[in-house]
Chains A and B, each alone.
Chain A
Amino acid sequence: MLEQAFRPFLEALNQTGNLRHIDGEFMNPEELFQTDILTKLDATFRGMYAIFLYDLKNDQGITAYLHSGSVGSDSTSRVLVLYEKAPRSRRNNTMADLGITVHEENPAVAFARDLFPSKPLMLPGVLLLRRISHASDAVYVPLEGKQEAVAARARQLFAQLPATIDGADFSTSTFGERVGKALDLAHIPYQRSEPLTVSDYLRKFLLLVWKHKRDLMAIVPVLGKAVHGAGKNGDD
């Protein structure tokens, strides 16, 4: 699926009715988060989230993979993917230009530290979540190395994911347990968290990114309704 900027996507998701404004549908971020937009996101997408956490300037393998465009075809229709990307506009600054030290204040690093306070995460990697606006356990998979290694690992990982949620009974095993089991079988190293609610941290992460005139990119799966009969055969 195609890539799009996350902020206009959330604004459009929040929009109701056909009223349009001359200045566009830009929203002040505080105003946007006063609505229950993240709950709405959870309600719209029944799959899972994959958030790539990395440093755009220093983690070259993962940067190259995310900029190559193949993540959109690797990620399957069960996963909504989020990641930072070097912006198109000459107006946007890269984090590197802001003169902040990467290990202390990179928004992705701060976000990772908030989520896993006891066991520091080794970035870069990808965080898997079932829900954002209410408690869910998170699974973190490190993605180190050159572009080929990152791409191979990411493809291997994405291939495991649909089976962990399709028809799953989460009352007998949690999301983290199911994903962990699949990753164990595939020999993919990972780290699990206690159940946590990501929305506050994600909000903080996004506000920081937006404040620096940056945005996350989203690969949004299509829900689809045009196919008659079973709706679950449209994986790609």
Chain B
Amino acid sequence: MALDQLVAAALLQYRAFGLLADEAHPAFKDDLTHFISAHGDPLVRAFSALSRSVPRQALAGLPFLLHSNNTAPHAPPGGYFDDQTPIELGKLLTSRYIFWAMQHNPDAALAVVFYLLRATLYVLHTRGFDTSVRYLLDLRKHGYLLNSSSLNHCLAFLFLVRQRVSSDDEIVPLCIAGQPHSAADWYNAELLPVDLQALPVLREAAEGMAYLVQTAGTDIDEVRASQSYDDWILGQHYLGSLMLTVHFILRYLNMDEEPAFRAFDVRYEEICADCFAFYHILRGEPERYPFEARFTASYGVIKAVEMGGGDWQNRLCDERVLVPDQLADLLLPSDGTINLQLEEASIPPAWRLLSSAVAPVYANLVVRNPDYRSLARVVKMNTNAASAPPDIRYFLRSMRQEPENEHLRGQLLDFYPYCDRWLFVEARYLDRRGDPSAAMARLQQAISIDPTDHSRWKSMSVILRKFGDERAADRLAGFARTLRNGRATAQ
């Protein structure tokens, strides 16, 4: 029960890396190495130690792709998680970063397409054509694919093959040798070369295309309906690349001049431009506190739309992804004004800051500031005057003198929301005060920021015991000891 949050945070962190990492950046290799040693590896080891005690709710409905049957001998190469999917979380996460590394290796480009196509054909075989298209997009959406090139390749291939068979059932036999009997057989299935030139076109591409265009539209709605700043940031990164994929496929299949798709094409192109503008703004505002939600960058576009006249606000909210639904009433009040500089107190908490699961990845890949934990945030206090934040050492010193001072405690996390040392102190304090749930939430934050500290895992095992989860507590305590001993021998 209490471990749910940790699993969800770990999955979010992996998704964040897959979406925020720039595979073309010269430092990508270091970024990946850093992610693995600072987050991926300790999490994998913790989940492996927990083994069957890992709760699986957070996995339900997520896509997966396995490139080797060593990860889970009885699992198929691709699909979506349900209760029965026989994949251990630790092994899944390991296979994810191996797959990332593979995508960065130019010699493995063909292998990546091969794994992707095999998994997609399995999904097509079991759940139909539309689901296989959705599956490819979901792999990108959840950070399995670092860029869209292999995705575009597979999508284009699927559409072209589909036009050359009279029924979807013929696609798999055309592309896969033999008939794999079990899910595990699929790992050894041979992909057949398909000579597209030699096969006559039997069907319009429009039907599959209509699904792609429509399902991309549901992704747009989903990002606009984001429930947190995490979702918004990751969603914007995903949408930018999704819009490019739809743009590419429309042209590749000669469907871009088709009147039924024209309006979608125009609109998706605009959303794509908005996403990439946002992407560059996030990376190019050194003077702002980089983890806070800000919408002032949309001002130019909103102003331009307003000057265009008519029912601009309405259509902006309907057709673009500049303003999240949850904040639309605040940012664009119904009196027609534009109010992009929001009062801290008026913003729902989930929209104020990135969560501690996403912030470390974002700090490393987008802000490129490894010292983000001691970066002070300017907070408007009750007096309305923005006061300069006190030095973090001042806080820690004062707190030692007055450990019960609630005002100081609150202020510290307002100014330094990712001060993991303090999150950990706070967790132990809450636990002593008899609030294990709140303590667990703080611990999860501290662990998301730095899972290499064995004492945090040790504390988590203590709290799990209070929840009555003896087995998970024992396993986690064992893992904390290994982590401590490992560190001792490494030094």
A-B pairs, 5 with minimum CB distance: A23-B304, A12-B263, A222-B206, A220-B260, A12-B262
CB distance from B206 to the nearest CB of A (A): 4
- B328 surroundings in chain A (CB, below 8 A): 90-91
Identify which of B204, B255, B262, B304 contacts A234 (C-beta below 8 A).
B204
B205 within 8 A of A: yes
Closest to A29 in B: B310
Please, could you name 21 A-B residue pairs with CB atoms under 8 Å apart, sorted by A?
A: A4-B264, A8-B266, A12-B263, A12-B265, A23-B307, A23-B308, A25-B270, A45-B259, A89-B318, A90-B329, A91-B317, A91-B328, A210-B311, A222-B206, A222-B210, A222-B261, A223-B259, A226-B163, A228-B200, A234-B203, A234-B204
Query: Is B474 interfacial (CB 8 A cutoff)?
Result: no
A26 touches B305 (CB 8 A): yes
18 additional A-B pairs beyond A1-B210, A28-B310, A222-B260, beta carbons within 8 Å, are A4-B263, A12-B265, A12-B266, A13-B262, A23-B312, A26-B308, A88-B221, A88-B318, A91-B334, A222-B204, A222-B258, A223-B259, A224-B258, A226-B163, A226-B254, A226-B255, A227-B201, A227-B204
Residues on A with beta carbons closer than 8 Å to the beta carbon of B484: none
Task: Evaluate whether A23 and B262 lie within 8 angstroms (CB atoms) in the complex, with A89-B317, A90-B328, A213-B311 already known.
Answer: no
Interface size class, chain B: 35 or more
Q: Are A90 and B325 in contact (CB under 8 A)?
A: yes
Q: Is the CB of A22 within 8 A of B310?
A: no
| Interface of B toward A, CB cutoff 8 Å | 163, 200-207, 210, 213-214, 221, 253-255, 258-267, 269-270, 273, 300-301, 304-305, 307-320, 325, 328-329, 334
Identify the closest chain A residue to B163 (Cβ).
Answer: A226
Asked if A26 contacts B213 (CB within 8 A), the reply is no
Contact with B along A1-33 (1 / 0, CB 8 A): 110110011011101000011111110110000
Provide the residues of chain B in CB contact with A15, threshold 8 Å: 262, 266
Neighbour of A8 across the interface among B210, B263, B307, B309, CB < 8 A: B263
- Which of chain A's residues has its CB closest to B304's CB? A23
What's the minimum C-beta distance from A96 to chain B, rounded to whole angstroms? 18
A100 to B209, CA, bound (A): 41
Q: Given A23-B301, A226-B253, A13–B310 Cβ distance below 8 Å? A: no
Q: How far is the CB of B264 from chain A (nearest CB, A)?
A: 7
- A24 & B319 in contact (Cβ 8 Å cutoff): yes
A119 at the interface (CB under 8 A from B): no
Contact between A91 and B214, CB atoms less than 8 A apart: no
A contact residues, range: 35 or more
Q: Tell me the complex Cα distance, A92–B314, Å.
A: 7
Q: Report A18 CB to chain B, min CB distance, Å.
A: 10
CB distance from A5 to the nearest CB of B (A): 8
The reply to whether B204 and A89 form a contact with Cβ atoms under 8 Å apart is no
**For residue B312, which residues in chain A have a CB less than 8 angstroms away from its CB?**
23, 26
Least CB separation from B265: chain A residue: A12
On chain A, the residues within 8 Å of B263 by CB distance are: 4-5, 8-9, 11-13
Tell me the bound Cα distance from A185 to B325 in angstroms.
Answer: 50
B310–A26 touching, CB < 8 Å: yes
Q: Would you call A87 and B318 a contact (CB within 8 A)?
A: yes
Cβ of A16 to closest chain B Cβ, rounded Å: 11
Residue of A nearest to B267 (CB): A8
Q: How far is the CA of A91 from the CA of B318 in the complex (A)?
A: 9
CB pair B317–A228 under 8 Å, yes or no, is no
A24 and B270 in contact (CB under 8 A), knowing A2-B214, A44-B259, A91-B334?
A: yes
A contact residues around B334 at 8 Å (CB): 91
Say if the beta carbon of A225 comes within 8 Å of chain B.
yes
